[in-house]
Amino acid sequence: MEIRSYRPADRAALVALWQACKLVAPGANDPDADIDFCVRSRDADILVGILGGRLVASAMVGHDGHRGWLYYVAVDPDKQKSGLGRQIVAAGEAWLKARGAPKSQLMIRETNTQVEAFYARLGYKTIPRLIMQKVLS
């Protein structure tokens, strides 16, 4: 799989991938707005995995100077369990490490136990934190 930065021509395939992987929750996140926000940031990127000319994987990466974050990690449902998830996560971690981020963090929905197990196999651990949110719009 070739991994590269997002290009505007990738948008439709990227949003379709996120929808197929159930990463888009109505009322919770707007994938187009998230792409636009990421693309404008100098501290973020969207990595995409291309296989056979198709966009099959993604990882949005970013950092705040203290920690790095992975978002929208996705692999085409037909390609899952083939090692592509491990590759796109490693690419995201490498992106963060190259920018000096000392750690990589991510959030998953607590009901997504299959994904939790995947990240545990990659060395991620659940940390005791309370995440709070305020909608600013």
What is the pLDDT averaged over residues 35-51? 97
Q: Sorting pLDDT into bands at 50, 70 and 90, what band is 7?
A: very high
pTM greater than 0.85 (yes/no): yes
pLDDT tens track for 97-106: 999 999 999 9
Residue 128 within a domain: no
pLDDT at 65 > cutoff 90: no
Range of the domain at 26: 2-121
- Mark out the alpha helices in the chain (DSSP H runs): 11-20, 31-40, 84-98, 113-121
Counted domains in the chain:
1
User: Given its phi and psi angles, is residue 45 left (phi above 0), alpha (psi -120 to 50 degrees) or beta?
Assistant: beta
Residue 14 within a domain: yes
pLDDT at 90 > cutoff 80: yes
Task: Name the residue type at position 113.
Answer: T
- pLDDT (0 to 100) of residue 108: 87
pLDDT at 17 > cutoff 80: yes
Share of the chain above pLDDT 70, in %: 99
Q: What is the CATH number of the domain that holds 39?
A: 3.40.630.30
Residue 88 within a domain: yes
Residue 115 within a domain: yes
Q: Which range, of 86-90, 101-105, 133-137, averages the lowest pLDDT?
A: 133-137
Given a contact cutoff of 8 angstroms between Cβ atoms, the answer to whether 92 and 73 are in contact is yes
Residue 105 within a domain: yes
Residue 129 within a domain: no
- pLDDT (0 to 100) of residue 36: 98
Q: Sorting pLDDT into bands at 50, 70 and 90, what band is 128?
A: confident
pLDDT at 136 > cutoff 80: no
Residue 79 within a domain: yes
Residue 86 within a domain: yes
